[in-house]
Amino acid sequence: MKILVAEDDAVTRKILGATLERLGWDVVTANDGEAAWQVFETLRGKDAPDLAVLDWMMPGVEGIEICRRLRATPGFEFIYVILVTSRGDKQDLSEGLAAGANDYITKPVHPVELEARVRVGERMMNLQRSLAARVTELEAALGEVRALQGLLPICSYCKKVRNEANYWEQVDSYLTSHSDVKITHGICPVCLEKMMEELDATPV
Amino acid sequence: MPPRSEIPARTYRDAGDLDEAALLILVDGDRGLARELAVIFLEDLGPRVAEITEAVTGRDPDRLRAGAHALRGSAATMMANNVSVAATALETMGRSGLLDGVQQALEELNRALALLRPRLVALAGPGVP
C-alpha cells in the first residue's frame, strides 16, 4: 500500500516516514499542503496513494482542506485520511472528522499507535476494493440477465422465437446468441417413446 | 519550589529537557534515526526561535501562534517536554491575542532551550554545528 505523509515539520515528517517504511509500506512525503495535493494530481489514476497521513496545520493548504478536496474529487473520494494534530480540542477533532477524515492521531505520534491506525485504514481500503470488485461482477452478471429480459414472441406450434430482426429462429439458436448458455442436444423420455412408436409403425 | 531560573546549574540529566528513553521508544530503538532527528531539529531551531522572538518583539499574535505551534510539535516529537510546554504557552497567548507576560514566556522558552541544546548536540554526535 502506498502512503502519503504530508507534514511541514521536518522532524515529524522524518519519524513518520521512517516508521511507516520500516513497517513495509511504500511512503511518499510532502513538506506542505500544496505539495501533497500535487502528489495526488500527478499520480491520479495511476499510482495514487491509498492512504494519507496529513498534518492538520501546514502553511498554505492545511490538512483539513486537503481532506475536503479529496472527498469532493472523483477518484480520490475513498482515500483513507488520518489527520495528525497537536490539538486536543474535541471541537477541532469534530471539525476534522466532519471534513471527511477517517481518523486522527495526536503528536507526538507513537509508532505502535500509528501502525495500529494505519492497519485499520489498510483493512478498510482492502474491504473497499473487494466490495468494488464484487459490485463490478454483479453489474456484469446483471447485464447478462437483462439480455434475456422482456417479451419474447414464440410460435405456439413450432416453438420458434421471433428475434429482433423479425426472423423466426429455433429456440436453441436464439438462446445461444443471446446468452452465455451452451446447448447440448438430446431426447426426452416422452419424445423417445413417441419416436419409437413411430418407428415401430413404419413398414420396413 | 524555587523558580526554574533560580535552580543552580544541573548536575543531572533531566528527562523534562530531553526524554531520551522515550525518544528511543519512538524510533523503535534506532539510534541512527534518533541522531538524524537531533540534527534536523538543531538545524531548524535557529529560524524557529528567531520567528518567535520577532513575533514577540512585534507583538504579532498570529505570527506568534504559528511559530510557537511549529516548535511545539517538533519539540513534542523530540520528547523535549519542557520546550514543548514553553512553546505551548506562547502558542496559547498567540491564539488568544492576550500577550500579557509574553516576554516572560519567551524567557522561559529560551531557558528550556539552553538546557536542551547541549543534550541534542551530544545526541547528534560529532560534526554538528
What ipTM was predicted for this assembly? 0.83
3-state secondary structure of A101: coil
Q: Which of A7-11, B13-17, B89-93 has the lowest mean pLDDT?
A: B13-17
Residues of B with Cβ-Cβ distance to A10 under 8 angstroms? 40, 43-44, 74
The residues pairing with A161 across neighbouring beta strands, listed in sequence order, are: A154, A169
Q: Report pLDDT for A45.
A: 73
Q: Which pLDDT tens digit goes with each residue over B4-51? A: 555 444 445 677 799 999 999 999 999 999 999 999 999 999 999 999
Mutation target to probe the B interface, by most B beta carbons within 10 A, among A12, A14, A15, A58 is A15
Q: Report pLDDT for B118.
A: 94
Tell me the C-alpha distance between A86 and B69, whole Å: 8
Compute CA distances B68 → A178, A202, B63, whole Å.
71, 108, 8
- Whether the per-residue pLDDT at A88 is higher than 70: the answer is no
Contacts with A7 (C-beta within 8 Å, 6 or more apart), sequence order: A13, A16, A29, A30, A31, A53, A54, A55, A58, A84
Q: Which pLDDT tens digit goes with each residue over A22-41? A: 999 999 999 999 999 999 99
Helices (H), A54-179: 63-72, 90-98, 111-147, 171-178
Residue A15 forms contact with B (CB below 8 Å): yes
pLDDT band at residue A181 using 50, 70 and 90 as cut-offs: confident
Q: Report pLDDT for A146.
A: 61
Q: Cβ A11–B40 below 8 Å, yes or no?
A: yes
Q: What is the dihedral of CA A31, A81, A18, B127, to 10 degrees?
A: 30
Q: Which pLDDT tens digit goes with each residue over B59-82? A: 999 999 999 999 999 999 999 999
Which percentage of chain A shows pLDDT scores above 90?
A: 63
- Whether the per-residue pLDDT at B117 is higher than 90: the answer is yes
CB A38 within 8 A of CB A32: no
Residue A8 forms contact with B (CB below 8 Å): yes
Q: In the numeric block, which cell numbers belong to residue A139? A: 453489474
